[in-house]
A and B are shown apart, each in its own frame.
Chain A
């Protein structure tokens, strides 16, 4: 089955710096890659996702890149702000199975210091 590895487990940056979180997946048939943000005391919330037919996707300060050949994808946050502090999870699944078998990475705790 699918296995998703995520690095780093913790990441500390200064406000205004960029942050990059990387994930690798094992199943070449996976074609849907979402990223979730979990704030303290809350459930994870989708922040951006990408399909395998796209190499990059941006939404304001957040971008995700995908390298299908190497089977890795990354989350990029620019101009970080203290409210970006949270735990981030990457995930992978196959869209044609209804996303039901979403496999998550182990999470990255991002701390943005003012």
Chain B
């Protein structure tokens, strides 16, 4: 089974702190994603990465950065956390392009971040 592991399930941080959210996948997937989930807004793409050291902005990248130094690990960074970044953060990976017929995303269980 594909496993996407998010290291922290719950975090509480102060405004202005630097926050790291870590994600590891064990299936050698090329693509990795960070989504933000908020009630009534669904899942919104923050950033994705299609290869090591490669990244592309999603729909809401402001206030975030990412790092992918190794294929299996994709980190989301909040340089200076703000209260409006309180949310559930979901990491995902996908088999494309190795499996060209599927766009299935494999999600982690999420990291709930509260910024006070």
**Contact surface of A with B, Cβ cutoff 8 Å:** 1, 4, 6, 9, 32, 34, 36, 41-46, 49, 89, 93, 95, 98-107
CB within 8 A of A102: which of B40, B97, B105, B110? B105
Given known contacts A98-B31, A98-B96, is B42 in contact with A43 (CB within 8 Å)? no
A98-B96, A100-B31 as given contacts; A106 in contact with B40, CB under 8 Å:
yes
Return the chain B residue nearest A94 by Cβ. Answer: B103
Contacts of A102 in B (CB 8 A): 45, 103, 105
Q: How far is the CB of A6 from chain B (nearest CB, A)?
A: 7
With A93-B103, A101-B45 given, can you name 12 additional A-B contacts, CB distance below 8 Å?
A36-B105, A42-B110, A43-B107, A43-B110, A45-B107, A46-B104, A46-B105, A49-B102, A98-B96, A100-B31, A100-B56, A100-B96
Contacting residue for B44 out of A41, A98, A104, CB 8 A:
A104
Contacts of A1 in B (CB 8 A): 59
Q: How large is the interface on B (under 10, 10 to 19, 20 to 34, 35 or more residues)?
A: 20 to 34
Residue in chain B with minimal CB distance to A91: B43
**Interface of B toward A, CB cutoff 8 Å:** 4, 31, 33, 35, 40-45, 48, 50, 56, 58-59, 90, 92, 94, 96-97, 102-105, 107-110
C-alpha spacing A44/B90, complex, angstroms? 9
Smallest CB separation, A69 vs chain B (Å):
23
Name 22 A/B residue pairs within 8 A (Cβ), A-sorted: A6-B42, A34-B103, A41-B109, A42-B109, A43-B4, A43-B90, A43-B92, A43-B108, A43-B109, A44-B90, A44-B105, A44-B107, A49-B102, A98-B97, A99-B105, A100-B31, A100-B33, A100-B50, A101-B45, A104-B35, A104-B42, A105-B42
Q: A42-B109, A43-B90, A43-B110 are in contact. Are A49 and B103 (CB under 8 A)?
A: yes
